[in-house]
Amino acid sequence: MNRVSHAQPSLPPGIMMRRHIVTAQTGLVRYERWEYNALVARYRGMGIMADDAMNDKDMIVERALDIIPEDIRIQRYRRMMRGAVLAGRKLHLPLELQNYDPMVPYMAPYIEEAKFQMQEEQELLAFHPWDRRLYTAGVSGFGETSMHSTFFTM
């Protein structure tokens, strides 16, 4: 009786080495955990927080920076400048000065408020006079009863 062996196909060495990281059961969980921990260590070493690393040129972040209180804005600026100086000198903060959890989203409420403001502006700017009913019961859409009104129709 011939037995068919189901041997594992030979894989290149790089794939074999990473095989324990990427599996069908875990996906990229181990790699994502390592990447998150490396990011936290980088933020701690530079003395910045995760929200400090957001792009200032993004519309929502720019609006949120206009909303935040002055003391939080100054703290953010000083952290970013300290991080830039440390990165330029290739140094790290001493352990006693490092933030334990730099992933606290201190700008989250201001970003949400900025999103609401932008949504409200878009809704208001998207409103045009031709979107309203022009004539109802002898009154134009603006409440005008003059026959010479632009919005008065017969």
145: in domain: no
Task: Give the HSE-up count for residue 125: Cα atoms under 13 Å, Cβ half-sphere.
Answer: 6
99 is a domain residue: yes
89: its two tokens = 């000198």
Residue 29 falls inside a structural domain: yes
Per-residue pLDDT at 99: 86
Plot region of 47 (φ>0 → left; ψ -120 to 50 → alpha; else → beta): left
Any domain includes 10: no
> Residue 135 in contact with residue 141, Cβ under 8 Å?
yes
Global pTM? Answer: 0.62
Domain extent at residue 33: 20-140
Q: Is the torsion defined by CA of 28, 29, 35, 39 positive or negative? A: positive
Instruction: Identify the band that residue 125 occupies on the pLDDT scale cut at 50, 70 and 90.
Output: confident
The CATH number for 97's domain is 1.10.1090.10
Task: Give the C-alpha distances (Å, rounded to integers) separating 5 from 8, 10, 16, 114.
Answer: 9, 14, 20, 62
Which contacts qualify for 65-73: CB closer than 8 Å, 24 or more apart?
A: 65/110, 66/114, 67/110, 67/113, 67/114, 67/117, 68/107, 68/110, 72/106
| Nearest one of 34, 58, 46, 50 to 108, comparing CA atoms | 50
9 inside domain:
no
Q: For residues 142 and 13, give the distance between their C-alpha atoms in angstroms, rounded to a whole number.
A: 75
DSSP SS3 for 140: strand
- Note whether 79 and 52 are within 8 A (CB): yes
147 falls within a domain: no
Q: How confident is the model at residue 109 (pLDDT cuts 50, 70, 90)?
A: very high
Instruction: Write down the pLDDT at residue 8.
Output: 54
Q: Quick check: is 148 in a domain?
A: no
pLDDT bracket for residue 92 (50, 70, 90): very high
Residue 28 confidence (pLDDT):
67
Is 88 contained in some domain?
yes
> What total of structural domains would you count in the chain?
1
Q: What percent of the chain has pLDDT over 70?
A: 64
Give yes or no for residue 19 having a pLDDT over 90: no
* Confidence (pLDDT) at 30: 80
Does residue 100 register a pLDDT over 80?
Answer: yes
The predicted structure's pLDDT at residue 66: 95
Whether the pLDDT of residue 133 is over 80: the answer is no
